[in-house]
Structure 1
């Protein structure tokens, strides 16, 4: 068995690579197809790489209302390498597939290094690859590696296996390949330079490669300085204030809230356990190889970046995994050779079995992965609880998701500048301008009014179906885009022209014949009796008329007997019974003047136009209306689970749908 190619014929390794890589690719695709992968970060990366196919410097749409280069941020020069493939298949799923495949192939260098440093030393070139197989499994199952792959697309996750290929070349002193893989890794993100400097230090101090170690550390340091202080300012707009402002702004963005670090210190400590805990039994003996990854891990654990960036599920920790793997390999090799361990000033030999400790490390890694990563290895994946498995907000692909994909493919104008709901935008990235109607860091759609002059179309979601339970509330929810829809309805430059199952298409300067009316007014109470009661609301009148080809106009009159309790949010939603996609949020009572703002004694008349889905078969259908709790996790499904307590759906009339 050739020590340079000891992995190529092991079916166990290839089976593990295909199973784990295939699983992660499948889950990544499911997340995208289920409209659960956001514009931050998959969409931004895909848009930048699409820009690269046009010879542009990786441009993407910034929330400030401009196009910016990825070279002005993390200096992701390596994204140009994906551009030729993206030109062949311009779809964000290509990036997800590449990321999963590269990660899985990272098991190859882990296997080879472990075989050479442990198995071959233990039993010669004919040794059974015991350590190599276990190390490959540890790498493939490592929780922070898998979560990195499953969290959109990031250069960090791509760079991790490239570093492992570089370390494999280092192990056999193949300097050209070492330089090649190191350069590729550096091109993915500027702060990979710090890791390369660390590799050079280890080479100099402990690998017996002083000249190569110095060269590696210098190359990493020089590249990092050039990337940060030359390339970034070169592609940064002059209005940003130059290098000093760029540097301080970057540091303030990720490390500027000391009080937050103190308040969340216990959580950060638990995340440190997840990052390093599975490997420590063996890896602490190979602490030298842990050193290159420690500064990055410490920086991330101290980060106050957006969305709790210190969490183990973030992509940054993927770059630490190669050095955890090397630490385990070095630690096991030292145990195997009986190298003395120094502790508290006393030198002694440990009598532990390296084989047993490696087996235990695999078991611990698998347990951590099964408990903390949302994959089929996790029992909660199959129990169907909120936030796990095929939940619609994770990997579930609902009939609505299929309809939404078809709507975007056939009825959303290609290439035009758009602003869209965060998960819709990810499917519209192959264009110069893609803004969000509401950014994840906004409490409301605060930036949208300033962005609208740059866009031709807007696609908010009135039945936003992503929901995440949080300690202090929830993320997403059916009213997530409510404020953005209100802004669009009030903007005289835009008009609603199309819809499908809650997804709305607004157009600038639309043809008057295509405009869908939405208006609300307070009218005098004529004392008419209620046709139906919905909690505090009386339905006084309701009518639906055909106004065009598959176009209907609905008018509802509500009397408010008492206002909703503070903090509650209910919305009226109608549907055509038996017609897929024919759910109509009452936009006037949802956005123009939300029902939770109605006052006792108000009589509210709302008039709105809707479009019957083009795939609806001709026939007569019942128009039903109901009220739903906007803060219920299942509100977007508009069924009995979120329906206003004590109420049901009410049949308003029968509607004739013609061919």
Structure 2
């Protein structure tokens, strides 16, 4: 129960829609909200057959883990062919425990999990001179998320630089035009407000802010770049493949949203196959090859190990990870009292426990569906989003004054129902 409605619940509602042959909608974003009006991620439909077989948020989490894991196959195989077994093992190890992957796995499910293997296969093909294959692996990025068309455009530019000028220019044009169409036409057409809702995130408030804001922006962005390159002992800087990271780093660092600047959440997952592909090419093209890079590879592996305790994979060594507390058991027992198909407003941390079988919205979030049949809230855990703990208590009092009665109140979980 450390997953949340934003974002695991949203993506389960999307995949659930596809599994029932409908365009994706998310009650969590608003009643009947069309998700193609939020981000352009139709590739999520590929999970629909699996969800029909196993309608659970666990399916999404395991699919994400599998997609991340697949990325190691082309990278390690290329490393072995180009620079030997030791390099392959170092790349596989570093990629597998990289902080970008750990942060993404530790924070729900996100559509970028599809981009990770696509980038790994594309950059491997690019590094090995299979330029047409590099383009074919890159173009599906347009179906993952609207900003990744720019990443595909950079791959096209690298293809042009490496000899296939026409192919590369066509790929770059497709990436740029695809992103523009998605942002300017497709997403606004589905969005209830007829606009792309994330333009405000692209303002340069963080970059051009004054005083402490500017210092924090520079410090966070600088730390992110250092931590990105450190597991390669900065050898990735030797490879032009690293240019592929620039679009993602660009929109993140130009944003005024501090969540984008640092190492939290899932935003760096797509950068991991890029830096390790750049590492492979750097070792393969360096005079002296693996022998000359041996010290750098050892340093990079050591840095990866040192970073491990700072990120979510360290939870595997925590005994509490493998123990189900009495409170969690009670929560599941209380959730089972909500019938399938009901409309429910739930605390953010309880949402994914219900999205597979009910119509769920966030309790306390402005714009949520009014008057759900059931309300379930966590009253023991301090709430910070989408409402404060004090405001949640106030909202509960309002709900009770509007006819909701207490079904049960145990272990800090309050279940309300209005007949």
TM normalised by structure 1 equals 0.58
- Asked whether 1:402 is paired with 2:329, we answer yes
Please give the per-residue CA displacement for 1:313-337, whole angstroms capped at 9, x wherever unaligned.
2211111112111211121122245
Please give the per-residue CA displacement for 1:437-456, whole angstroms capped at 9, x wherever unaligned.
134xxxxxxx3xx6463422
CA contact (8 A) 1:60 1:432 kept: no
Partner of 2:311: 373
- Asked whether 1:82 is paired with 2:21, we answer no
Distance 2:222 2:332 in 1: 41
CA contact (8 A) 2:37 2:190 kept: yes
- Asked whether 1:134 is paired with 2:87, we answer no
User: Is the deviation greater in 226-235 or in 77-86?
Assistant: 226-235
Distance 1:82 1:331 in 2: 36
More helix by share: 2
Residue 301 of structure 1 and its aligned partner are, at CA, apart by: 3.3
More strand by share: 1
Partner of 2:356: 430
For the residue of structure 1 that corresponds to 2:355, the secondary structure is: coil
- Asked whether 1:234 is paired with 2:189, we answer yes
**Which of 37, 42, 46 is the equivalent residue of 2:3?**
37
Structure 2: runs of 5 or more not aligned: none
Residue 280 of structure 1 and its aligned partner are, at CA, apart by: 4.6
Partner of 1:182: 138
Q: Which has the higher contact order (CA 8 A, sep 6+)?
A: 2
Correspondences of 1:279-428 after superposition (within 5 Å): 279-286=232-239, 288-305=240-257, 308-336=259-287, 353-368=292-307, 370-376=308-314, 382=317, 389=318, 397-409=324-336, 411-428=337-354
CA contact (8 A) 1:421 1:481 kept: no
For the residue of structure 2 that corresponds to 1:375, the secondary structure is: helix
CA contact (8 A) 1:489 1:495 kept: yes
Partner of 1:30: none
Partner of 2:374: 457
Distance 2:21 2:386 in 1: 38
TM normalised by structure 2 equals 0.89
For the residue of structure 2 that corresponds to 1:429, the secondary structure is: coil
Alpha-carbon RMSD across the aligned residues, in angstroms, is 2.9
Partner of 1:61: 27
CA contact (8 A) 1:422 1:437 kept: yes
- Asked whether 1:486 is paired with 2:413, we answer no
CA contact (8 A) 1:36 1:395 kept: no
CA contact (8 A) 2:97 2:304 kept: yes
Residue 54 of structure 1 and its aligned partner are, at CA, apart by: 1.4
Structure 1: runs of 5 or more not aligned: 1-34, 120-128, 339-350, 383-388, 440-446, 469-473, 511-659
Residue 91 of structure 1 and its aligned partner are, at CA, apart by: 0.6
Please give the per-residue CA displacement for 1:169-222, whole angstroms capped at 9, x wherever unaligned.
4455667755553344331111111111111111111x3332332232122222
